[in-house]
Amino acid sequence: MRFLCDHMLGTLAKWLRFLGNDVVYPGPIEDDELKATVEREARVLLTRDRELSGRVAGSVYVASDDLNEQLVQVVRAFRLPANLAMTRCSVCNAPLREVPKADAQGKVPEGVFERQREFWRCDTCGRMYWQGSHWANMSARMQTILSKSSLNEPPRDSISKA
């Protein structure tokens, strides 16, 4: 899915990227500019601003300021796959590219290089990725969030029809 997170939702933007989504996070810009970007790039606006959400068709008003609740809301509303994917840079949203292990030498901590077999690189910002303990912790957290949230609660009808 293609999203635009408003400037209140930076952490959510990173998590949605880790779930394989294309998420732009422009920081504080004027509402009109936000609306124009959403329309031009065919994105879904995720916003903490109820009034703005009412003005942008297909947008989602994110009610909670709790990350877990935000993730549940968005994953359910769009039936997103809840598995982490090594496809997008969490920092700049550029696509990741799997690189041969030899290419990671000297670019990641030595212990990581020894333990990991697979590496990915963001060609835009140069950041390296691997599925280390942080990855495992995020996966576990995602599963916990979703299992807790699945208790007989229907998906919230939260997509603005404006």
63 belongs to the binding site for Zn ion (CB under 5 A) = no
124 belongs to the binding site for Zn ion (CB under 5 A) = yes
125 belongs to the binding site for Zn ion (CB under 5 A) = yes
96 belongs to the binding site for Zn ion (CB under 5 A) = no
CA distances from 23 to 14, 88, 89, 138 (A): 8, 9, 10, 18
Alpha-carbon distance of 161 to 109, in angstroms, equals: 48
Q: In 53-156, at which residue ranges do the beta strands (DSSP E only) sit?
A: 60-61, 96-99, 119-122, 128-129
Q: Which stretch binds Zn ion (CB under 5 A): 69-77, 125-133, 141-149, 152-160?
A: 125-133
Instruction: In angstroms, give the least distance from the CB of 129 to Zn ion.
Output: 9
CB 26 within 8 A of CB 4: yes
Report the residue number, 64 or 124, with the smaller CB distance to Zn ion: 124
45 belongs to the binding site for Zn ion (CB under 5 A) = no
